[in-house]
Amino acid sequence: MAGGTSGARGCLGDALLGLLLCSVTLALEVSVGKAPVIYVQNGTDVLLPCTFTSCIGIDRANFTWIRNHTEIFKGVVKNKDSKPEPYQGYKYDFKYRLPPDVALSKDNREFNISLELLDAEFSDSGKYTCFVKNPKEKNANHSDTITLKVVVELEKVDNTVTKIIVSVVGGVIGLLILIMVIKKATLFILKKTRQKKECLVSSSVNDNTENGLAGSKAEQKSTPKA
């Protein structure tokens, strides 16, 4: 009985911890990614990203995509083992669809409800809101918005300035290293030259002393008497 009681207390503790974690963070959270604006070239397809998470679980979670103030798509995720699918009976524009290769949730918490826009036109530019409602969380709802801009041509990133800056910085560093090497080599040569000169001077003095030149020991001897 003691073991069963402790096991029950452990499960209760885990459950309370789970509820606490859910209360600290949002039980239902929707995200369209980190980029607030996405660009697409006119006449091409684009993916409008959106995922939602729920640590409590889902039961027929409804999601809606809204462009500016108009609904464009409505779908449902029935349970944690289901892929998102269009809402039955809802009439929507066929230029919007769910990606065919969307994967199931790996941890049963995060669900991908991204929407694909086919053959984007300039009129498709605007704000797209991903809205989710989860009946299992007492119809808790959450949303996030992303801006789409349809352009004539996507801008190519020019790295010329960056390359120039990197080249200049690299050249300066290389020049500083070369100067330091030359300085060290010059000091080394000067040191060796000075030591050689000192050696020559010392050797010359010794030779003069031994040959009886001025200042040598020979001058210091007394002159012999007649």
* C-alpha count within 13 angstroms, C-beta hemisphere, residue 148: 28
Q: 84 with 110: CB under 8 angstroms?
A: no
**Structure-token pair, residue 41:** 């070239």
Same-domain status, 97 and 185: no
Q: Which helix (H) or strand (E) holds 51?
A: strand 51-54
pLDDT 10s digit of each residue in the chain, 226 long?
Answer: 545 545 545 544 444 444 444 444 458 999 999 999 999 999 999 999 999 998 888 999 999 999 999 999 999 999 988 899 998 888 878 899 999 888 777 776 889 999 999 999 999 999 999 999 999 988 899 999 999 999 998 877 555 555 667 777 777 888 888 888 888 888 878 777 776 666 555 655 555 555 554 544 444 455 555 4
Domain that holds residue 172: 160-206
Q: Is residue 15 part of a domain?
A: no
Residue for token pair 């809802």: 90
The answer on 81 and 125 residing in a single domain is yes
Number of structural domains in the chain = 2
